Structure 1
Amino acid sequence: MTDESNPSGDAADDWAAALAEQTASSAPATAAAPAPVAAPATSQVFQQIQETASAAAGVTPSDLARVMDVPVQLTAEIGRTRITIKSLLQLSQGSVVELDGLAGQPLDVLINGYLIAQGEVVVVNDKYGIRLTDIITPSERMQKLARS
């Protein structure tokens, strides 16, 4: 989309021109009001979402602030296995321990021992990380507990 008044073809200017044109065409001809200036809405949107979520849960922002610094233990679990003490004592450098997880299977992410997500291992700047691929909802957690 190129405009004769915008020879550089800058996409942001194209969007601004289209918005101004739409505003001008929808405004009455007698009112010559300036086009509204677009303000960044990200802070307003996120604030509204946080307020809505807090109100729905019956939690005020001050209540939430009380627990923001509480430490939790995050564990990424690739798999598990059971071995005897005899086998454990025979382990040395280079030993291989077979786990019940399959290659390519997502690893479990636990918070304080409770499964909250599944993900995959990634390497970022020579450090390992976890890309979360599936978040476990509270209802799914309750179903898993009921099956156990």
Structure 2
Amino acid sequence: MAEQAEADEDKDEGADWGAAMAEQTESAAAMSALTNGSTTAPGNFQDFSATTMEGERVRDIDFILDIPVQLTVELGRTKLPIKNLLQLAQGSVVELDGLAGEPMDVLVNGCLIAQGEVVVVNDKFGIRLTDVITPAERIRKLNR
């Protein structure tokens, strides 16, 4: 019985070695074909050319129309030392670099898009746009 088990084990080892040798032969043949300059078939890829329909563009724009943005009207700016900042109290006046009557900057998410003048509408402040920056100028500023 022990001799039978050893014989079966030798057959299994021989089969394993045979499979490994066959795999190595296939691998060597594939490498040989690659180094001998054999050709391969071209890949089949999806066309991503700019053939979008006008309707698709409108849907793309509709997708972003409800995204909220931060609109800020900037009255002016100043720099002051922390010592002076800590001395500010109710009634303190902070001098800004903007002049009275000068157009104010209108920013969207921190990016300048227009300038305008202050108006009062129903007891609330508003801004009348006097100069709107073109989209080309906005893009040019982003690329800096």
TM-score w.r.t. length of structure 1: 0.56
Deviations 1:23-77 (A, max 9, x none): xxxxxxxxxxxxxxxxxxxxxxxxxxxxxxx95xx96221111101101000100
Residue aligning to 2:72: 75
**Higher Cα Rg, which structure:** 2
* Structure 2 residue matching 1:72: 3-state secondary structure: coil
Q: Which runs of 4+ in 1 moved over 3 A?
A: 141-146
**Which of the numbers 136, 140, 143 marks the counterpart of 1:139?**
136
Of the structure 1 ranges 99-108 and 134-143, higher mean CA displacement relative to structure 2 is found in: 134-143
Give 1:103 shift. 1.0
Distance change (3 Å), C-alpha of 1:143 and 1:63: closer
Give the Cα–Cα distance (whole angstroms) in 2 for the partners of residues 67 and 141 of structure 1: 18
Residue aligning to 2:120: 123
Alignment of 1:60 with 2:57, yes or no, is yes
Residue aligning to 2:84: 87
CA RMSD of aligned residues (A): 2.3
Give 1:145 shift. 6.2
Residue type of the alignment partner of 2:124:
K
Consecutive unaligned residues in structure 2, runs of 5 or more: 1-52
Identity of aligned residues (%): 67
Pairing of 1:36-51 with structure 2 (within 5 A): none
Consecutive unaligned residues in structure 1, runs of 5 or more: 1-53
Pairing of 1:19-34 with structure 2 (within 5 A): none
* Structure 1 residue matching 2:114: 3-state secondary structure: strand
**Which of the numbers 96, 100, 104 marks the counterpart of 1:99?**
96
Residue aligning to 1:32: none
* Structure 2 residue matching 1:60: 3-state secondary structure: helix
Give 1:141 shift. 3.3
